[in-house]
């Protein structure tokens, strides 16, 4: 009985929206961007920080991370190079966060992950910096 009363009280406040469609207006600028296909997805990979290991691409259950070639390879340390980086096809992502949580930058080097499906926070750190002797120490997630 109490629940029914509660629903009635809150439901009355909702009536104008149901009957007259009030409060439903989408921001015109957002609407225009959607219609024209101009909605930009956030940057999801910090290409500088990424080591190019490809783990995120292999672990993604939706197979929506593709490794792309870098214009030129970057030496991380002697005999170890980075020549690929991941790109997320955001429209297919189901936000399981497997890529982020298993990124070795995050898990091994204790730095912000180089990949985040909802938008990466750039750190200014380059992957090659991680292999330098003074690169230790936790920063963030």
Catalog residues that contact ligand SF4 under the rule CB under 6 A. Answer: 45, 50-56, 60-62, 64-65, 86, 88, 93-99, 103-105, 114-115, 117
CB of 79 to ligand SF4, least distance (A): 18
Task: Output 15 or 96, the one with its CB closest to ligand SF4.
Answer: 96
Task: Output 6 or 68, the one with its CB closest to ligand SF4.
Answer: 68
Phi, psi angles (nearest 5°) of residue 100: -65, -50
Task: Output 88 or 125, the one with its CB closest to ligand SF4.
Answer: 88
C-beta atoms surrounding 47 within 10 Å: 19
Task: Output 64 or 135, the one with its CB closest to ligand SF4.
Answer: 64
> In which residue are the tokens 């936790």 written?
138
CB of 52 to ligand SF4, least distance (A): 5
CB of 139 to ligand SF4, least distance (A): 15
Q: What does the buried/exposed string (b/e) look like for 69-88 if buried means 16 or more CB atoms within 10 Å of the residue's CB?
A: eeeeebebeeeeebebbbeb
CB of 76 to ligand SF4, least distance (A): 11
CB of 22 to ligand SF4, least distance (A): 36
Q: Are 138 and 109 in contact (CB under 8 A)?
A: no
Phi, psi angles (nearest 5°) of residue 74: -120, 130
Task: Output 17 or 68, the one with its CB closest to ligand SF4.
Answer: 68
**Burial (0-12, 13-18, 19+ Cβ within 10 Å), 52:** buried
């Amino acid at each position: 009985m109490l629940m029914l009363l509660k629903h009635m009280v809150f439901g009355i406040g909702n009536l104008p929206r149901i009957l007259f469609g009030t409060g439903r207006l989408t921001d015109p600028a957002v609407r225009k961007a959607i219609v024209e296909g101009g909605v930009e997805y956030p940057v999801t990979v910090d290409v500088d920080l990424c080591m190019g290991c490809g783990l995120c691409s292999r672990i993604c259950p939706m197979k929506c991370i593709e490794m792309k070639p870098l214009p030129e390879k970057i030496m991380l340390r002697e005999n170890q190079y980075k020549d690929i980086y991941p790109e997320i096809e955001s429209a297919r992502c189901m936000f399981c966060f497997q890529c982020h949580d298993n990124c070795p930058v995050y898990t091994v080097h204790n730095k912000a992950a180089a990949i985040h499906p909802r938008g990466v926070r750039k750190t200014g750190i380059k992957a090659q910096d991680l292999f330098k002797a003074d690169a230790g120490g936790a920063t963030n997630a």
